[in-house]
Amino acid sequence: MKRYADMASAELKELHDKLQQEYDQFAAKGLDLNMARGKPGSEQLALSMPMLDILTSSSDCTAEDGTDCRNYGVLAGLPEARRLMAEMLGCKPNQVIVCGNASLNIEYDLVARFELEGAAGQTPWCKLDTVKFLCPAPGYDRHFRICEHFGIEMIPVQMGEDGPDMDAIEKLVADDPAIKGIWCVPQYSNPTGATYSRETVQRLAALKTAAPDFRIFWDNAYCVHDIYPDDEARRDRVDNIIDACEQAGNPDRVFEFCSTSKITFPGAGISAVAASESNISWLLESMGPQTIGYDKLNQLRHVEFLRDAAGIQEHMAKHAQFLRPRFEAVLTRLENDLGDTGIATWTRPHGGYFISFEGPEGTAKEIVARAAQAGVKLTGAGATWPYGKDPHDSNIRIAPSYPSLEDLELAAQLFTICVRLVAIEKLLA
């Protein structure tokens, strides 16, 4: 295949006419396909249906410490639930609090606590003139929405294959005491699929910051979400950030988050926050006026269903059997249709839920709009950058999990048609 930049105008016009015919044929089908969000498909949700049969009206709802899970109390979570989530994160049970169904809720609450109460005896953020966060980008749009909601100024930091640009981060935090935190999705990052290298983790843990209350928000959402669980060369593992911070002399710097949202049921899972023991003590004291405790029946159900780290791994291998052909279908289509054109690049993740696509500069919004007109919904262009403003208008997040494999192959084909059409129009212009 010839690179588009090397083609004469007549060749480009001929190819454009052919692609336009293919696009019109797709548009005439009245498709209604969605690759906008990384939702588990119905087959994945079915994997966890047996969990609903674990507790019945005749079940013994007593936890291992004697707690009656039907009643109030146990703010930190059942001992066995804390142990399960600690195994997932590689930390100690006493460093974990088990919460409700969404880790995003914990993250929002934690930002609100720092706004109202401050951290480690520091001034509450709401009393400061300016609060800033570092935001690796492309990144997770819902992290950015939390910052926008609280009026926190976001500073984009370029993401690479090994994590965010650490040279830029080290300079920024050393010079500016208003920078209070950084968002991180360290393993199979949303949307690039990158996993932070050991060097990146160590440099984050050892940062010299102008703000004494600088905190790392470590959203380890995809810590067990391998697409190739049996292939050691394609099983990414990020270093333990809690251990790294302790070794660097900054034990209270990090709060780590995870959930079972894409392990069992996104709407009815359990989540957890992990941190130093002193941070956990502070957080439990701060949470006391907010809640007496979370859903312990759901915690018990999850423990009995998933059992331990080996049980989680076994369950996630079933998810991988579903996800792997979907990722491979999209990646194959991208390679076949765009591989030699010179107009696009994309990531080839080993896990997580997304593929990060880079088209020609100034085309992402038009590609997304063109796909929507023909019946394929994608994540909005710009969503992967703070304030929804991609400075290059080039990044598109692709989510292969939700459609059926047949629908996904159609959607991916239409997507590449849109990319080529818009790229040719840009070249001809």
pLDDT in tens, 350-369: 999 999 999 999 999 999 99
Q: Which of residues 274, 307, 340 is at a domain's end?
A: 307
Distance between CA atoms of residues 141 and 147, nearest Å: 10
Give yes or no: residues 357 and 388 share one domain. Answer: yes
Whether residues 13 and 109 fall in one domain: no
Burial of 137 (0-12, 13-18, 19+ CB in 10 A): buried
Over residues 87-107, the pLDDT tens digits come to 999 999 999 999 999 999 999
Q: Summarize the confidence of residues 251-273 as an average pLDDT.
A: 97
Residue 17: exposure state from Cβ atoms within 10 A (0-12, 13-18, ≥19): exposed
Provide the CB-side half-sphere exposure for 300 (13 A, CA).
Answer: 21
How far is Cα 160 from Cα 351, in angstroms, rounded to an integer? 16
What residues contact 193, with CB distance under 8 A and at least 6 apart?
A: 347, 348, 349, 350, 351, 352, 354, 355, 356
Query: What letter represents residue 8's amino acid?
Result: A
Confidence tier at 2 by pLDDT (50, 70, 90): confident
The verdict on 177 and 39 lying in the same domain is: no
Share of the chain above pLDDT 90, in %: 97
Report how far apart, in Å, the C-alpha atoms of 363 and of each of 16, 66, 184, 389, 416 are.
16, 60, 27, 13, 13
Considering the domain boundaries, does residue 89 fall inside one? yes
User: DSSP of 69-116, one letter per residue?
Assistant: TTSS--TT--HHHHHHHHHHHTS-GGGEEEESS-HHHHHHHHHHHHHH
Question: How much of the chain exceeds pLDDT 70, in percent?
Answer: 100
Q: Both 264 and 337 in a single domain? A: no
Mean pLDDT of the chain: 97
Residue 191, amino acid: P
Q: Is residue 92 part of a domain?
A: yes
Same structural domain for residues 104 and 184? Answer: yes
Q: How many domains does the chain have?
A: 2
Helices 79-89 and 296-306: angle between axes, nearest 10 degrees: 50
- Which contacts of 154-160 are long-range, i.e. CB under 8 A and separated by 24 or more positions? 154/386, 154/387, 155/179, 155/386, 156/385, 156/386, 156/391, 157/182, 159/189, 159/192, 159/194, 160/194
- Whether 386 is in a domain gets the answer yes
Q: Is the pLDDT at 37 greater than 90, yes or no?
A: no
Segment 129-155, tens digit of pLDDT: 999 999 999 999 999 999 999 999 999
- The verdict on 338 and 303 lying in the same domain is no
- What DSSP element (H or E) covers 337? helix 309-338
Residue type, 351: G
Residues 147 and 198 in one domain: yes
- Is residue 54 scored above 80 in pLDDT? yes
Based on the domain organization, do 384 and 400 belong to the same domain? yes
Coil, strand or helix: which one is 197?
coil
Domain-embedded: residue 73: yes
- The sign of the dihedral angle between the CA atoms of 126, 120, 252, 92 is negative
CATH number of 122's domain? 3.40.640.10
Per the domain annotation, does 56 fall within a domain?
no
Whether residue 360 is contained in a domain is answered as yes
Of 273, 307, 341, which closes a domain? 307
Question: Would you say how long the chain is, in residues?
Answer: 429
| Pair (303, 390) in one structural domain | no
54 in a structural domain: no
CATH at residue 34: 3.90.1150.10
Residue 120's pLDDT is 76
Are 151 and 172 in the same domain? yes
With CA atoms as reference, report the closest residue to 61 among 70, 52, 53.
70
Fill in the DSSP letter of residue 68: B
- Summarize pLDDT for 43-52 with one digit per residue, the tens: 999 999 999 9
pLDDT tens, residue by residue, 202-253: 999 999 999 999 999 999 999 999 999 999 999 999 999 999 999 999 999 9
Residue 381 lies in a domain: yes
Cα 311–Cα 194–Cα 310 angle in degrees, nearest 5: 10
Q: Is 0.85 topped by the overall pTM?
A: yes
Average pLDDT over residues 72-98: 98
- Integer CA distances (angstroms), 172 to 45, 132, 181, in order: 42, 11, 11
Pick from 263, 283, 307: which residue ends a domain?
307
Domain encompassing residue 203: 63-307
Please give the DSSP secondary-structure letter assigned to residue 232. G
Say yes or no: 108 and 214 in one domain: yes
- The pLDDT value recorded for residue 227 is 98
How many Cβ atoms sit within 10 Å of the Cβ of residue 331?
Answer: 18
Domain co-membership, 301 together with 324: no
